[in-house]
Amino acid sequence: MIPEPFDRERIRLRPLSERRSKLGIEEIALAGAGPAPPAGDVGPVLDELAREIEKARARGAPVVICHGAHLIKNGLGPVLARLVNDGWLTHVATNGAGSIHDWEFAHHGRSTEDVRAYVAVGEFGLWDETGKYIGLALLAGGLEGLGYGEAIGRLIVEDRIEIPKPEILDALARAALDGKMPADRGAAALDLLDAVRRGAPAGEVRVAHPWKRFSIQAICREKQVPFTVHPGVGQDIIYGHPLLSGAALGRASMTDFLIFASTIERLEGGVYLSVGSSVMSPMIFEKSLSMARNVLVRKGRSLDGFTIAVNDLARIDWDWSRGEPPMEDPAYYVRFMKSFSRMGGKLRYAGLDNRAFLLGLEERLRRA
């Protein structure tokens, strides 16, 4: 028999203040533009990449970075912020964990728990504030059609979530049924109404973010630069919280995927940086690129003149500028590079710690 879905109301959540967090943002943040660590034999790749980014921005083409959560845990949020502020990055994308760590640093000043220790006692990830406030921000953002990243960025910048009263939410849902407003907004109103009826607060919910100056989501919200979040359901710590709505999360992340695809549609002459994301980044890129080409080909336009630069720790001997390796070469089974090698454009690989990669790239762009 198929079991009943897990009832999250049975979970005992603990306050975030009681968690032993490993990282403090004030201790790890690379807030100053100091000298970059040595890049070794990857230096020529960084030199070339900086030139490609300069040319892309000169012609008004996008420069996108899609990164995993370790970039935030390595204190690189302020480096991304500087690259956004200086106009080098035009779109930032990450997975669910990247957004969560950034939010926890902004709100709590600390993030990252001892997975082994907390799983052993059934407490890993089950911290009230993280799931509650991210869940409420996504629910409230759905009323306005916000994507995941923009909803969390707004929460950090404004230190608040505005949740309409039940009678207003009920009226919005009825208006959608009558065709007076988009159906997805009516569905968002019903999702939020359900949360309020189950105990979520209505009205203004104040949430302080004393460390928001370190948040890349906040910077992107303020600069109106797209910050998109591409989660996998069940992969992040927020899924155990009863106020995390699957419908709201799906709506917000779908919005972000379509925003991401819109950027990829304009990638001709641009640059795509994939940093520390071996699954999510190549997967959303290949789907978005296929969607974009489907539209552009019928307009007689191509989408092949772009550069992809992949940064990861794996040491790979194969020169990916030569194309895909033969099956007998171990490099053939490096899945993320194989995926990117099939996308067209120009592909470069930088086997380097992401701190050295990003700081080295920033250093070269400062000299531009």
User: What pLDDT was estimated at residue 313?
Assistant: 92
Report helix, strand or coil for 160: strand
Joined tokens for residue 184: 């997805």
CATH pick for 11-17+24-30+39-110+210-366 out of 3.40.440.10, 3.40.50.300, 3.40.50.10690, 3.40.50.2000? 3.40.50.10690
Joined tokens for residue 41: 């034999």
Q: 268-294 burial, b for 16+ CB within 10 Å, e for fewer?
A: bbbbbbbbbbbebbbbbbeebbebbbe
Give domain limits for the chain: 11-17+24-30+39-110+210-366
- C-alpha to C-alpha distance for 82 and 219, rounded to whole angstroms: 9
DSSP 6: P
Are 140 and 163 contacting, i.e. CB atoms less than 8 angstroms apart?
A: yes
- C-alpha to C-alpha distance for 313 and 63, rounded to whole angstroms: 22
Q: Within a 13 Å sphere around the CA of 150, how many CA atoms are in the beta-carbon half? A: 22
Q: Digits of tens for pLDDT over the chain (368 positions)?
A: 999 999 999 999 999 999 999 999 999 999 876 788 999 999 999 999 999 999 999 999 999 999 999 999 999 999 999 999 999 999 999 999 999 999 999 999 999 999 999 999 999 999 999 999 999 999 999 999 999 999 999 999 999 999 999 999 999 999 999 999 899 999 999 999 999 999 999 999 999 999 999 999 999 999 999 999 999 999 999 999 999 999 999 999 999 999 999 999 999 999 999 999 999 999 999 999 999 999 999 999 999 999 999 999 988 888 887 888 899 988 888 889 999 999 999 999 999 999 999 999 999 999 97
- Tell if the pTM clears 0.75, that is, is over it: yes
User: What pLDDT was estimated at residue 33?
Assistant: 66
User: What pLDDT was estimated at residue 332?
Assistant: 87
Task: At 349, give phi and psi (nearest 5°).
Answer: -120, 135
Report helix, strand or coil for 72: helix
Positive or negative: CA dihedral 69, 74, 79, 83: negative
C-alpha angle with apex 152: 27 to 127, nearest 5 degrees?
65
User: What pLDDT was estimated at residue 128?
Assistant: 97
> Within 10 A of 33 (CB to CB), how many other CB atoms are there?
13
Torsion of CA 187, 198, 234, 113, to 10 degrees: 130
With residue 267 as reference, give the H or E element that holds it: none
Q: Is 349 exposed, middle or buried (0-12, 13-18, 19+ CB in 10 A)?
A: buried
In the block, which residue shows the tokens 């897990």? Answer: 6
DSSP 80: H
Q: Is 365 exposed, middle or buried (0-12, 13-18, 19+ CB in 10 A)?
A: buried
Are 242 and 5 contacting, i.e. CB atoms less than 8 angstroms apart?
A: no
Start-to-end CA distance of the chain, whole Å, equals 64
